[in-house]
Every structure is written in structure tokens, then in C-alpha cells.
Amino acid sequence: MLNRIMEELCWINGSVCPLSQARISVEDRGFVFADGVYEVIRVYQGRGFAVKPHLQRLVRSCEGVEISCPYSNQFIEKVIGDLVMQSRLQEGIVYVQVTRGVAPRGHAFPKDVTPTVMVYTRSMLFTRLASQRVISVTDDRWDRCWIKSIALLPNVLAKQKAVRAGVDEAVFVDGDHVQEGATSNVAIVRGQTLITPPVGEKVLPGVTRQILLELAEEQGMDVLEQTFTVQEAYAADEAFLASTTREVAWISEWDGHQIGSGRCGKWTQRLSQAFEHYRDQSVSDFNDSSSSSRSA
């Protein structure tokens, strides 16, 4: 009955408002990268339940992704208590989320960012000792890299490792097999054969990758979509990354091993030129067709 006069409230970094009016920037890294951690705490009879272990886990989660929460657990516990009281919440949950904060988009950790800490109350009624029917599913968390999902936390952490190592990109290796970069597809050249891992569970179907495969064939290269080991990468004649923002970027060094001659190889140069030509052609075709449709 008391739940009827309650008001769901949201606390964000010190400001409180009705939950329905709470707003977060679209550049919050929680929104664009799922770069955050959370807790759900039950509220029984107007009291948060097991608040301390939840907040202890929140601290461990923050540490796991290197977010330094600006508030102590003691402080957040007080925020939760006050919010539950102000909301007049009797039965429901408190949701707590900490994200790395708001910053221009870029995978690596932004400098001087303030984490977004959010606590809100929700009225909910749960059934005691509920009956549940279940199904089994394969544990494939997360083997769907072909989906360009915003759940990018592993990519964010990998990219940050690259930044810390003073290099430009981190390449995911599964077992011994190269998959893709944190923000790019990867390929090697051996002789006149271009080898790139097939798209699928661990590889995004990059738009740049696909264009380059077609251009490579036009250039007379043999194209193999198959995995290769990291040792094969070290021994390759050439290696490159492909992505929308990089187009083609040649790899000079991989885990400290110089690739090929240590200069941009001839096939990578040719692919880059072919890509530029293809790109300029598409842009001018588009401009021509939009100007003729405007004048029509």
C-alpha cells in the first residue's frame, strides 16, 4: 500500500531527481561502450538488504576494470539509505551503476574523466519461492563478435593495454590463433597471398576488410580467409590493420618483432593505393549522382 505514495528517485553524482527525469549524456561510456559495472540490491520493508556485500562486490568490479569510483562505500551506503527513505520505497530494488564517465568516443581510457555514479530506486513486487521453468543454452558469452555490439568492455581493456605498452593496437589471440584487433581487422601477406581470419565468432565482418579482399583479388593477390598463428604473423612478409578510421595501416612491429623489412611492404602499399582510388571514385560517384538529382 505504501508503494502507492512512493516516488522513484535517481541520484547521479550528487543530484537527485525523479527517475523519469534522470538524464545521462549520450557520450557516457556506459552508453557507448558498456564501460561500467553495476549492482542490484533488494529493498524489503523500506531497508536495503545485504548492502555491504553488494558494495564490496561493486568495488571489486570497479577495480577489475580500473574505474576509480569517487565515493567511498560508506558514502554510497548513506546515499542508498537516504534515497530509499526519500522515495518512501517499501518493496523493490536499488540499482547502482558506475561508468567510466563522459568523454569523446575513443576506446582507450580517457584522461581526467569523472566516473558517473548513479543510484536509483524502483518499486517492484516479487513472488516468494517462485516456480521457474528453464532451458539449456550453450555458454557462448561472448562468441558473437560478428555483431557490432556496444558491449565493448573487453575491447576497451585491450586497447588500454596497447596504450600502456606504448603501441597503437592490441590484437586478440585465441590459443595461438590471431583473430582481430581491438578496433580493427588484421591480415598478413606471405608472398603474394593475403591471409586474414574468417569472420564469425571472434571476428567482426569489417566493411574495410571486405573492400580490401575484393581489391586484393583485383590486384592479382591470392586471398585466403583462414586463421594464422601469432608466430606466422611474426614471420609474415607484411601485415596490416584495416578499419574505417585507419583504412589500411601497415604493421611495423608485433610483440617487439619487426615485420618483414620494417618498412611498408609493396602489397600493402598497392592495397592502400587501390583503396584510396576506390574511395575517391565512390565519393565522386556519390557527388555526381546527388548533384544530378538536385538539378533534376
Ligand X SMILES: Cc1ncc(COP(=O)(O)O)c(C=O)c1O
Q: Hey, which residues are catalytic here?
A: 148
d(CA 271, CA 242): 11
Q: Angle at which helices 207-218 and 266-295 pack, to 10 degrees?
A: 110
Q: Say which residue the cell 520505497 belongs to.
A: 89
Which residue among 99, 123, 179, 185 contacts ligand X (CB under 6 A)?
185
Query: How far lies 3's CA from each of 90, 125, 251, 253, in Å?
Result: 6, 10, 60, 62
Instruction: Tell me the residue nearest to ligand X as measured from the CB.
Output: 206
d(CA 192, CA 238): 10
Candidate segments 20-28, 114-122, 133-141, 242-250, binder of ligand X by CB under 6 A:
242-250
Instruction: Decide: is 179 part of the binding site for ligand X (CB under 6 A).
Output: no
The residue count for binding ligand X (CB under 6 A) is 13
Instruction: Decide: is 184 part of the binding site for ligand X (CB under 6 A).
Output: yes
Q: Which is nearer to ligand X, 185 or 227 (CB)?
A: 185
Instruction: Decide: is 207 part of the binding site for ligand X (CB under 6 A).
Output: yes
Which residue among 188, 204, 271, 274 contacts ligand X (CB under 6 A)?
204
Site string for ligand X, 150-169 (x = CB under 6 A): -----x--------------
What backbone torsions phi and psi does residue 168 show, to the nearest 5 degrees? -100, -30
Candidate segments 41-49, 85-93, 163-171, 206-214, binder of ligand X by CB under 6 A:
206-214
Residue 77 buriedness (CB in 10 A; 0-12 / 13-18 / 19+): middle
Q: Which is nearer to ligand X, 43 or 162 (CB)?
A: 162
Instruction: Decide: is 272 part of the binding site for ligand X (CB under 6 A).
Output: no
Instruction: Decide: is 99 part of the binding site for ligand X (CB under 6 A).
Output: no
What backbone torsions phi and psi does residue 181 show, to the nearest 5 degrees? -85, 170
Instruction: Decide: is 35 part of the binding site for ligand X (CB under 6 A).
Output: no
Total residues found in the chain within this entry? 296
Q: Where are the alpha helices (DSSP H) in the chain?
A: 29-33, 51-64, 73-87, 153-164, 207-218, 230-234, 266-295
Q: Which is nearer to ligand X, 116 or 184 (CB)?
A: 184
Candidate segments 179-187, 194-202, 213-221, 259-267, binder of ligand X by CB under 6 A:
179-187
CB 67, CB 115: distance < 8 Å: yes
Which residue among 208, 227, 268, 272 contacts ligand X (CB under 6 A)?
208
Q: Which is nearer to ligand X, 96 or 162 (CB)?
A: 162
Instruction: Decide: is 206 part of the binding site for ligand X (CB under 6 A).
Output: yes
